[in-house]
A and B are shown apart, each in its own frame.
Chain A
């Protein structure tokens, strides 16, 4: 329910930041979640680090590797979410995890636990919609939204995939895996419009958004913009400062400014059913 409400609230940035949990460490991730919550983003994607991330570009892969070195894993990410809720974070939290760690944890147990710690949605990039029916049912029982991913090339399947979508639909904006790109495919607009028309829930667009002009451009065709690599790179460049008690505040402040530059808190493009 938090996701649905967030898309309808007026004073929110139409941003969905993606951060890799545990990069550079548990505490810093918690700080970043707090900061994004204060900045009233629409939702926060918490990436579960994985050693074989098929859908990610080099920046997020490297962040995953750093987080794994810190001992971060799915159970720890759930603890992190719980800690964030205990600190008063109210922004929707969406878990982004590859399928194998979920299989290993047990999907039914995971959904129960996820709901307990305050996870609102889940994105599993390598789980095809056709294979995810059972998992989607388990998620729904716990009121966790299994967020579907759609790509411009999957035109025939768009209708099918989004028809019973919950939470929001995650649209992949450009061919290739995540990363900062300098230009975007015009065909993407038509794709987004198709999805938006077919979808009963808001749509978010991701993969490659790093600047204000990208955000502005996409918010004409989508309800929120996912920002991943660009934010992770910001944090990576400030790694030493972020893990140093004396310098942490300044580094966080720079990241805050970046988030503010990307999108205003505004009432335009609010999703209405």
Chain B
């Protein structure tokens, strides 16, 4: 009995994570975990992955010293890890090519994924196009209408976009349909999950493929500054870019780790998506983490100015880093993120994604309280071109 518990324990980060799914799905995830364990340290697989990351994604991404911003704030030296310079403009591609390569290795011919705003769908469609895999993207019908340009982008990349018409016709329903597809077509199908969330092995797998961010940043700062940073920060929705930066620094006890959570309009229920700062532990979408829920355990609506952070749960490893005291999670409001969006554009000529702007905002808040010889690394997880229209409309109102 204890042995079976131990089998599942590999999916736990402290008391968080695990695999809380119906039995049929459990079996499918077990197979996926076996495949992941088989290939994650396979030299041949990693050689192929490295080559794709270098030649296709464009890695390593630069670690850029934001000199003007640092000087203006008059505190710590701020470095930006430029994930926005990756192919397709965000960190999402790291995980998409990693998992798509894994799919190909295990003989899957069909890759399925869910998408909300469309970013993960586009990254998945991109990786599948490059590897010649059939790609089916499930998207809530309402989202397909709101994000028609991204639908076209995915179709352009050869993916089939299936509008989901059940329930609320949004991301939640797209996930349900994708899971049903997976259970029914497990023999030839791979479910490519986009964030460090969901049941085991997804959080571990996404962390594995995103950790390239932190490994590079660690090497680069040692090379550029000759020492480790004092503080590292990244935005946290599901938390895949953040865990990618954080994981390789966790053992470096002198490096302070802070996640910038979407604080939205206020910290009242329904106004934000800060699952750690404003939520409680529970089970959501098949895993245990901090989540936004009411007294009955029903998931509460969430809000963020950044669609990519608008999620009522958080990656289980972040919940563990918080609970164990290794990392802090701090809400950053819509307004602060919007200010940071403009400020980084003006001072550095870099338009950040609204998601990444949360981490930039935290740096802007914190750098002035630090010494000029201290180092702060911000994960600039994506570029802001996709958000320019939204910000333009908000400013015109």
Contact = CB atoms under 8 A, between A and B. Distances in A.
B8 A128 contact: yes
Interface stretch (A20-28, A86-94, A149-157, A250-258): A149-157
B113 to A, nearest CB: 17
Given A58-B167, A176-B180, A104 B23 contact: no
A131 B23 contact: no
Interface in A31-75: 50-52, 54-55, 58, 61-62, 65, 68, 73-75
Contact of A128 (B20, B282, B295, B296): B20
For chain A, which range describes its interface: under 10, 10 to 19, 20 to 34, or 35 or more residues?
35 or more
B335 interface: no
B22 interface: yes
B166 interface: yes
B293 A128 contact: no
B19 interface: yes
Interface stretch (B24-32, B155-163, B261-269): B24-32
Contacts of B172: 52
Nearest to A178: B22
Contact of B293 (A68, A104, A160, A175): A104
A151 B24 contact: yes
A65 B166 CA distance: 12
A127 interface: yes
Contacts of B259: none
B24 A153 contact: yes
A104 B22 contact: no
Interface stretch (B63-71, B230-238, B283-291, B320-328): B283-291
Nearest to B18: A131
B394 interface: no
Contacts of A116: none
Interface string B286-310: 1000000101111100000000000
B395 interface: no
Nearest to B312: A52
Question: Which range holds the interface residue count of chain B?
Answer: 35 or more
Interface string A130-170: 11010000000000000001110110010010000000000
A103 interface: yes
A99 interface: yes
B176 interface: yes
Contacts of B22: 54-55, 125-126, 149, 151, 172, 177
B284 to A, nearest CB: 7
A100 interface: yes
Given A126-B286, A175-B183, A73 B298 contact: yes
B21 interface: yes
Question: How would you classify the secondary structure of chain A's contact residues: helix, strand, loop or mixed?
Answer: helix
A99 B282 CA distance: 9
B167 A62 contact: yes
A101 B284 CA distance: 11
Nearest to B295: A104
B4 interface: yes
B179 interface: yes
A130 B12 CA distance: 13
Contacts of A131: 8, 18, 20
B198 to A, nearest CB: 11
Contact of A52 (B1, B19, B180, B299): B299
B143 to A, nearest CB: 17
A54 B179 contact: yes
A54 B26 contact: no
Nearest to A179: B180
Interface string A85-125: 00000000000001111111100000000000000000001
A175 B8 contact: no
A151 B23 contact: yes
B48 interface: no
A252 to B, nearest CB: 28
Nearest to B4: A130
Contact of A127 (B1, B20, B166, B293): B20
Given A149-B22, A175-B183, A52 B167 contact: no
Contacts of A149: 22-23
Given A52-B172, A52-B285, A54-B21, A104 B167 contact: no
Interface of A: 50-52, 54-55, 58, 61-62, 65, 68, 73-75, 98-105, 125-131, 133, 149-151, 153-154, 157, 160, 172, 175-177
6 contacts: A51-B298, A75-B296, A104-B297, A125-B22, A130-B5, A151-B24
Interface of B: 1, 4-5, 7-8, 18-28, 166-167, 172, 176, 179-180, 183-184, 282-286, 293, 295-299
Given A126-B21, A153-B27, 17 more contacts: A52-B299, A54-B25, A62-B166, A65-B167, A99-B20, A100-B283, A100-B284, A101-B297, A105-B296, A130-B4, A130-B8, A149-B23, A151-B23, A153-B24, A154-B26, A154-B27, A177-B176
